[in-house]
């Protein structure tokens, strides 16, 4: 039996499991309506809303923009992978259920996460109204994470965090969360999972910022077992809980942190000579289970396996359809959760459609296309390295400094380096001062906040750093293809 036949059989089996097992509409893809009004809207700002989500089964950003009318009104259909929290730039994190219409009002004069209200009594509106006070009830106004916490104080802090987590678990089990009597079971599930996520998120943030300072090279996987020793007895609430897909603070961040700060082995454990991908997965999962005292391949491990398969597509330019098929086939035997199976299969089908069936959808030109054409038009006939960056983005600035020699070597060659930033988030004077001090050459391009939002939707990146290439004919290509113009 050849590999294509094997893959076909696997897909058929998974498809059958997925269709039968997922009986809750909130786990399925669907559409919701987001509408409302921006109050105190400046004439030249808030013309576009940017909505960011991430397909956490594939670790891929999904970005759309919504036009805002002159009177501040807006309305759009939002495609959802499942009921979930979405991030609206300049407004904040908002829960949106499949099939709902969520109406919100935002005061543009107030900062992000303030000055917005929700109308109506559907599931989305109820969850968004109840969450802030519920979180404050258990975790206080400031939350659990303490920036700059010293190591010697961490054991006591950890003990207090776990104590609060246990109080939430006890209240969920006893059905005594302080919620209105008419709160539905699904609303309780979303709000309960949101509460459960906060303590583990605080622990991961503490490790990320206070222990490693955000530097991956300082991570010590060997200490994860002791650091997260409280997880073992609470795994069904924290790691084997599909409701974490719905959490109001954002499943994108939560699951991404679990991947990096608890289960990084899946991506970076060394391969043994002659080891198949299946054997590698099995060995690494056993390491993770032993570390945290887990009894099986739980929901979060399955999520991380799916992330690993599809994130390779984005970061490895040399990966082939056969490689992806092999990685997918090596993942499926470990996936028992129908939700993960369903969405992983959908993502694989999209990949096959794009890369093997060679289907190219013709799309009409958009406002974002026109903005990008305006930016690159002066450099027609050159190969372009196009970088989207910001002063608030540490990795952006590091990469720009590393690239200085490459920029110098491009002198006299048909290549240009374009550094594009959002002038609202990275003011021109401040940015130019840093670039001058650090000898950052190339083309410095500033665009408005609305233009930035439109371009991030066009290229599907939530935030910087992001880079793409444009060849001499104006075609968007991978950055690696521009290197040929440097030869």
Whole-number pLDDT of residue 357: 57
The pLDDT of residue 221? 85
Answer yes or no: do 347 and 383 share one domain. Answer: no
* 15 & 88 share domain: yes
Domains contained in the chain, number: 3
| pLDDT tens profile 112-142 | 999 999 999 999 999 999 999 999 999 999 9
Q: Does 315 lie in the same domain as 461? A: no
**Average pLDDT of the chain?**
89
- Residue 22's pLDDT band, with cuts at 50, 70 and 90, is very low
Whether residues 255 and 316 share a domain: the answer is no
Answer yes or no: do 353 and 393 share one domain: no
Q: What is the pLDDT of residue 106?
A: 96
User: pLDDT tens, 403-429?
Assistant: 998 888 888 889 999 999 999 999 999
Q: What pLDDT is attached to residue 480?
A: 84
**Residues 23-56: pLDDT tens digits?**
368 898 999 999 999 999 998 889 999 999 988 8
Q: Is residue 273 assigned to a domain?
A: no
Q: Is the pLDDT of residue 280 over 60?
A: yes
Mean pLDDT, to the nearest integer, of 449-457? 93
In the predicted structure, residue 243 carries a pLDDT above the cut 60 = yes
> Are 217 and 202 in the same domain?
yes
- pLDDT surpassing 90 at residue 283: yes
Give the global pTM.
0.83
Are residues 45 and 12 part of one domain? yes
Which range (3-17, 307-321, 345-359) has the least confidence?
3-17
Residue 336, domain extent: 292-363
Residue 286 counted as domain residue: no
Same domain, 324 and 175: no
pLDDT at 444 over 90: yes
- What HEC string does the chain produce? CCHHHHHHHHHHHHHHHHHHHCCCHHHCCEEEEEEEEEECCCCCCCCEEEEEEEECCCCEEEEEEEECCCCCEEEEEEEECCCEEEEECCCEEEEECCCCEEEEEEECCCCCCCCEEEECCCHHHHHHHHHHHHHHHHHCCCCCCCCCCCHHHHHHHHHHHHHHHHHHHHHHHCCCCCCCCCCCHHHHHHHHHHHHHHHHHHHHHHHHHHHCCCCHHHCCHHHHHHHCHHHHHHHHHHCCCHHHHHCCCCHHHHHHHHHHHCCCHHHHCCCCCCCCHHHHHHHHHHHHHHHHCCCCCCHHHHHHHHHHHHHHHHHCCCCCHHHHHHHHHHHHHHCCCHHHHHHHHHHHHHHHHHHCCCCCCCCCCCHHHHHHHHHHHHHCCCEEEEEEECCCCHHHHHHHHHCHHHHHHCCCCCEEEEEEEECCCCCHHHHHHHHHHCCCCCEEEEECHHHHHHHHHHHCCCCCCEEEEECCCCCEECHHHHHHHHC
- Is the predicted pLDDT of residue 14 greater than 60, yes or no? no
The answer to whether residues 136 and 169 belong to one domain is yes
pLDDT of res. 118: 96
User: If pLDDT is split at 50, 70 and 90, which confidence band does 362 have?
Assistant: low
- pLDDT bin (cut points 50, 70, 90) of residue 88 is very high
pLDDT in tens, 174-226: 999 999 999 999 999 999 999 999 999 999 999 988 988 877 778 888 889 99
Q: Could you tell me the pLDDT band of residue 350, with boundaries at 50, 70 and 90?
A: confident
pLDDT at 2: 44
In-domain check, residue 283: no
Which pLDDT score, from 0 to 100, does residue 298 have? 92
Is there a single domain that holds both residue 332 and residue 429?
A: no
């Amino acid at each position: 039996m050849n590999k294509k036949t094997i893959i076909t059989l696997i897909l058929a089996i998974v498809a059958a499991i997925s269709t039968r097992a997922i009986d809750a509409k909130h786990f399925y893809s669907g559409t919701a309506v987001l509408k409302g009004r921006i109050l105190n809207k400046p004439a030249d700002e808030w013309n576009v809303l940017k909505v960011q989500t991430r397909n956490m089964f594939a670790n891929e950003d999904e970005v759309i923009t919504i036009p805002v009318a002159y009177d501040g009104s807006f309305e759009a259909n939002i495609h959802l992978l499942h009921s979930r929290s979405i991030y609206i730039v300049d407004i904040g994190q908002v829960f949106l259920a499949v099939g709902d219409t969520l109406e919100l009002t935002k005061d543009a004069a107030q900062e992000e996460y303030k000055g917005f209200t929700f109308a109506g009594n559907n599931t989305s509106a109820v969850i968004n109204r109840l969450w802030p006070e519920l979180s404050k009830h258990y975790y206080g106004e400031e939350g659990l994470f303490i920036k700059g916490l010293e190591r010697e104080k961490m054991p006591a802090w950890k003990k207090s965090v776990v104590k609060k987590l246990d109080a939430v678990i006890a209240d969920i089990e006893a059905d005594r969360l302080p919620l209105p009597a008419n709160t539905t079971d699904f609303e309780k599930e979303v709000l309960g999972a949101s509460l459960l996520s906060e303590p583990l998120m605080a622990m991961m943030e503490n490790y990320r910022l206070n222990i490693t300072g955000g530097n991956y090279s300082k991570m010590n996987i060997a200490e994860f077992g002791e650091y997260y020793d409280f997880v073992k007895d609470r795994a069904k609430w924290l790691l084997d809980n599909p409701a974490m897909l719905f959490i109001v603070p954002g499943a994108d961040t939560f699951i991404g942190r679990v991947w990096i700060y608890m289960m990084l082995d899946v991506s970076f454990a060394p391969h043994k000579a002659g080891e198949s991908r299946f054997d590698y997965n099995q060995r690494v999962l056993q390491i993770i289970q032993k570390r945290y005292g887990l009894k099986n391949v739980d929901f979060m491990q399955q999520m991380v396996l799916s992330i690993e398969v599809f994130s390779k597509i984005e970061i490895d330019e040399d990966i082939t359809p056969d490689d992806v098929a092999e990685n997918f086939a090596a993942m499926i035997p470990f996936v028992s959760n129908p939700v993960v199976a369903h969405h992983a299969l959908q993502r694989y089908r999209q990949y096959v459609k794009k890369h093997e069936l060679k289907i190219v959808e013709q799309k009409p030109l958009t406002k974002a296309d026109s903005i990008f054409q305006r930016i690159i038009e002066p450099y027609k006939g050159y190969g372009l390295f196009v970088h989207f960056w910001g002063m608030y983005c540490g990795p952006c600035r590091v990469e720009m400094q590393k690239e200085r020699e490459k920029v110098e070597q491009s002198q006299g060659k048909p290549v240009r380096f374009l550094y594009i930033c959002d002038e609202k988030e990275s003011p021109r004077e401040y940015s130019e001062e840093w670039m001058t001090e650090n000898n950052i050459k190339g083309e410095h391009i500033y665009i408005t906040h609305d233009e930035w939002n439109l371009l991030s939707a066009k290229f599907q990146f939530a935030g910087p750093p992001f880079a793409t290439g444009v060849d001499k004919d104006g075609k968007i290509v991978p950055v690696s293809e521009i290197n040929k113009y440097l030869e």
